[in-house]
Structures are given as C-alpha cells and as structure tokens.
Amino acid sequence: MSTSSAARTYQIRTYGCQMNVHDSERLAGMLEDAGYVRAGEEESTPDVVVFNTCAVRENADNRLYGTLGHMRPAKDRHPGMQIAVGGCLAQKDRDAIVKRAPWVDVVFGTHNLGSLPTLLERARHNQEAEVEILESLEVFPSTLPARRESAYSGWVSVSVGCNNTCTFCIVPSLRGKEKDRRPGEVLAEVQALVSEGVLEVTLLGQNVNAYGVEFGDRYAFGKLLRSCGEVEGLERVRFTSPHPRDFTDDVIAAMAETPNVCPQLHMPLQSGSDRVLKAMRRSYRSERYLNIVRKVREAMPDAAITTDIIVGFPGETEEDFEATLEVVRQARFSSAFTFQYSKRPGTPAAEMPDQLPKEVVQERYDRLVALQNEISWEENKKLVGRTVELLVAEGEGRKDTETHRLTGRARDGRLVHFTPTGAIDREIRPGDVVHTAVTRAAPHHLVADTDISAHRRTVAGDHWEAGMRPKTSGVSLGLPSFGAPPSQPAAQQGCGC
C-alpha cells in the first residue's frame, strides 16, 4: 500500500471486448491525470482496483462477484483501499452490486467514464459507496485522456452504441444508441497517435460500417478509410466489427485501394441458417453474407477473413446447424471465434422456447471447432514459403528446448512466431518491422524458422525500449460531441455484433 504522503496507486482489470479495452485506457489516463500512479506488478494491494466489466456472457456476473468476494479480505486488511466497478455489468446491475458486495466503493456506468476520479474522491470523503449510472452519453469517451497500453498500436473509436436489436444481445441497452464522432475528430486522434510513433490503428465501433448514420452519409466509413491512407507514417489500418447488413461495396473498394488498410476482415456470421438469422433479427441471410465474402476475395485475393459464430441458439435444429457448417466450408475463414449460446436476462432470446440442452450445444460446438481448425490449418499451409511483413509484438514469443522465437503480426492479422536471426544490425524490439519467410503452419499460428531478410527499427520500438507509452489528453476540435455535423474535411473491428 502507498503511504498517505505518496501518490495513490491503481490497477485496472478488464473483461470483455475491444471497446472495454479501449475504455480501460481512458480510465487509466483519467486516473493518472488525477495524480494516481499505476501499481507495479509486484504490488499486491493497490490503493484503487477498478473492474471494467462485460455483461455479454452468461457467467460474467458470477465471475465478477466471485472475484469481488476474493477481494474482501484484502480490503479488510487495508481499509484505505477502494474498489470500483464500471462497464456493461455495472450499467446493468447498478445498485445491486453494492447490495451483493457492500465493500465496493464506487459503481459507474458505460456513459460516465469521466466521473471515476470524482466518485473515488467523494466515496473517500463521505466514507460511503457512490453509485452513478447515466442513461445516455454526455461526453464522447475519446475526449478523455488515455494511457495507451501499446507503444506501436492503438484503438481509435469511431462510434459508440448500437442501433441493432439482435435478440441475443444485451449491448444496445447498456451502451445506448449509436453516436458517431465527426471524421475530423477521428483523423485528429489518428494523427496524434502517429506523431507519438504509433504504426497501427484499429478503428473501433459496435458496428463500424454503420458509421455516418448520425450525419446522413452512408458512405462515411469508406471515406474515412481512404482518409487514413493519407496520414503520413500510418502503416497499418484495421477495423472491427462490421455488420453484414450495412456492408457496402465502397468499403471493399476503399480496403483494396488504400495501401495501409490491411487485407483483413472480421465480420460476424453468428449462424449460417436463414431461419436462425431471422430469429436472431440479424437482417441479412447466408447468401448475402457469402456474397460479401466473394466480393472481398475478388478485390483482395489474399485477405484473411475471420468471424463470430453462436452455436445452440434457441430452437436451432440439426438442419440449422448443418447450414452453419456449410457456410463455414464455403467461406473458408482463416479463424473463427465460436461461442455456445448464453442466455442473458433482458434479451428476447432468453424467453424463447426450445432452449437447447447443454450436451446438444456442446456436441455441435465441438464439431464446429473441429471443422474450423481443419480449414484454418489448410489456409495457413498456403502461406508456407511466402515472405511476410511482421510488426513485432510485445512478449518474448514462444520458447522450446531448441529455438527462441519472437512473435509478430502479419498484415493480414495472422500470428507468426519467428527466429530473430539474419539481417539484424541491432536488437529487434516490439514495434519494429521485420520480413521473414514462413516455414511451417499450425491451425492458429505460423512459424518462420529461417533468417529474416529485413529489419527496420522504428520510433515505436524506440519508445518501447525507453518504457514509453503514448499518453494523450483527449482529442477535440472544438466541435460539439453530438448535434449538427460540420463540413467534412477535404481528405477523407467486439462484442460479436
């Protein structure tokens, strides 16, 4: 524990999707602006522990309350310690959290991240729990300061919230209706990150290709991708997650024609059965989905396409499940995030008849995973012998008795473990860029056990070596967060949605 004369320390524990990871960077930035210091890994009892929660999966509640129970002895031993709970589960459970875990000091929702430092101070002063849950967004999170986790890669939010009504999803009721940032604000944040040495940004939203709905431009996302292509020094652009309903041909063209937009697409399928898709209110059908896949591959033959799939949705028959397997066979995803259906209170699907037995769902899930692993391995084998460009990732990579390897991401998002030998004049650091040839494939990664052919040291690598992380104070161009859109600048993927 820190002493009363020292800066108070904090730790943030994040659960859930990329949006939560990005929100945690904002929470860290605000705490540090308020004078808190990040707790070291060796510190067992930080002054403040923040749980940024997810409510998508069925066991999210049990996981949180179980963890809070384990925290109580530490809190009893250190009365000055504070525990805060935020995120989607906090938005859902509200006052119930302090009723079930009265040792929690602060509960805040998805719409008021910026209140955390004030709520902590108020709880400390009043010596009682503070619960503040707003019903709508008042300040766009991207105007808040952030402590970025990576020296070379950053999330950039283009929108928050979702206008869809999928019957299995609780997110819209917790994150609210979609709110779009103005293109100029998004690009200003991208430019700020690049000026700090960041090489790669991921444009983030619950449904990124619906971007522009607030200011009446259905082609806004494609324009935004092209504008990112004009940011000097930005080497890689990714986005997640698009919805098949809103996927337009101009986005495919922008991906194919903008050199720094990566040949990678994560597009949730959820089910290959048209009957189940209708029950899910997914507003597209399997042929529409496969047509998008075909168009993407025509424009970018080497694109890696990944997806989300739910197994065991209420009423799913064996015929429905076989339809999903058939779409998987045709789409040939490089990988898939597969989920067993999870009943969430408050969603229409939770009240549907014909909830499937656990053993049926498990058996189907195992068959889907086996099929996708087979396809992933076959697709990865096609890359053996090819030279790939890797952005070196943090961590030591894979070790075994014979070889020490580092890890990097190829432009298509694939994970590659490589040997750091060959054309190297100095140490390879996270954030550096290397070129190497793939020698072996596995279902979930590639291996490059040959000398690298090129190594480029980067500013991002310099920052990593110096222990620096981009620390932004929030991006605003003096524009209102919401309301009438300004003129667009001349220059112009999740929760498994």
User: What type of residue is 142?
Assistant: S
d(Cα 49, Cα 86) in Å, to the nearest integer? 11
**What is the layout of strands, in order, in the sheet containing 415-418?**
440-441, 446-448, 415-418, 406-410, 387-392, 433-437, 454-456
Sequence ranges of the binding site: 17, 54, 88, 162, 166, 169
- Read off the tokens for 343: 């009943």
Residues facing 167 on adjacent strands: none
Q: Where does residue 474 fall: left (phi above 0), alpha (psi -120 to 50 degrees), or beta otherwise?
A: left
3-class secondary structure, 135:
coil
DSSP string, 83-129: EEEEEHHHHHHTTHHHHH-TT--EEE-TT-GGGHHHHHHHHHHHTS-
**What residues contact 261, with CB distance under 8 A and at least 6 apart?**
225, 228, 229, 237, 238, 254, 255
Torsion angles phi and psi, residue 322, rounded to 5: -60, -35
The answer to whether 268 and 17 have CB atoms below 8 angstroms apart is no
Residues that constitute the known binding site for [4Fe-4S] cluster: 17, 54, 88, 162, 166, 169
Interatomic CA distance for residues 93 and 107, integer angstroms: 10
Contact predicate 369/338, CB 8 Å:
yes
Other beta carbons within 10 angstroms of residue 3's beta carbon come to 8
